[in-house]
Amino acid sequence: MYGYKKGVAVVTGAANGIGRAIALRLADEGCAVSLWDVDGAGLEAVAAQCRSAGVAVDTRVVDVGALPAVREAAAATTAVLGEAPRILVNAAGIGQVASILDGSPEEFDETMRVNVRGTYNCCHVLLPAMTAQRGGNVVNIASWFGKSGRPMSLAYCASKFALIGMTQSMALDLARDGIRVNAVCPGTITDTRMREAADRQAVAKGLPPATERVHMIPLARLGTPGDVANVVAFLISEQASYMTGQSINVTGGLWMN
């Protein structure tokens, strides 16, 4: 436990997988949490778990790719929880197993809309209050696919490369305001809807699922959402107070750069 100063954290993509694990970890650290996702039923299940940690919880069914919806969710979060968020974790994301040859323009646009524009929207709306308070933390969930181009992942790679660039640029722009911006780059993570969808698409195209690629991972196991949440919790803590603009791998040694 890092002994956070109490504050409000917004976690996008909080209904499942990595976002859910992050929301639970931040609640355990004492943060009031606002959980954002398009899956209302999933949000309520996570909210119940967060409340058991004794913190205030707000849920918002919101499409982060739609700027008006993000503005509305931000205003409602501040009104319900009584203060503007000082922590933002952009975990909402989608992806497809597809190359330039078999992926559609519509799929590409939707991936960029959710992964890149969604992160932009949340930062654009929530960061002014953090600058006014002279402090805050942003963590973007990127991917090791944002550091190395991978086959059959054109749109996803493009979106995650963009997130790493955004992370570095925002870190430079916001450092003078006491705001740190970092990214986490997960490797092959199990127990997420994205993993399940990617495995289905891979198998349909004659490619191996994640469980058949474990031998490629030096630590010889798939990652868990909790592995990612632990690193997010560290980056938000005062123990990481001299870190900004970093993109931290959580890959079991699969990627080291």
pLDDT in tens, 14-47: 999 999 999 999 999 999 999 999 999 999 999 9
CATH of residue 35's domain is 3.40.50.720
The proportion of the chain whose per-residue pLDDT surpasses 90, expressed as a percent, equals: 95
The predicted pLDDT at position 4 comes to 83
Domain presence at residue 218: yes
Domain presence at residue 255: no
Domain presence at residue 3: no
The predicted pLDDT at position 191 comes to 93
Domain that holds residue 148: 8-249
pLDDT at 199 over 90: no
Domain presence at residue 1: no
Please state, rounded to an integer, the average pLDDT across all residues of the chain: 97
pLDDT tens column, 111-154: 999 999 999 999 999 999 999 999 999 999 999 999 999 999 99
Distance CA 146, CA 156 (A): 8
Instruction: Find the angle CA(228)-CA(234)-CA(239) to the nearest 5 degrees.
Output: 165
List 2, 4, 120, 156, catalytic entry: 156
The predicted pLDDT at position 3 comes to 80
Domain presence at residue 254: no
The predicted pLDDT at position 18 comes to 98
Domain presence at residue 257: no
- Of 24, 25, 27, 21, the C-alpha closest to 7 is 27
The proportion of the chain whose per-residue pLDDT surpasses 70, expressed as a percent, equals: 100
Question: Helix crossing, 105-112 with 154-174: angle to 10°?
Answer: 20
pLDDT band at 6 (very low <50, low <70, confident <90, very high): confident
- Is the entire prediction scored with pTM above 0.95? yes
Looking at the 3D structure of the chain, how many domains does it have? 1
The stretches of 52-192 forming alpha helices (DSSP H) are 67-81, 105-112, 118-133, 154-174
Domain presence at residue 220: yes
Domain presence at residue 2: no
pLDDT at 5 over 80: no
> Chain centroid to CA 218: how far?
24
State yes or no: is 4 an active-site residue.
no
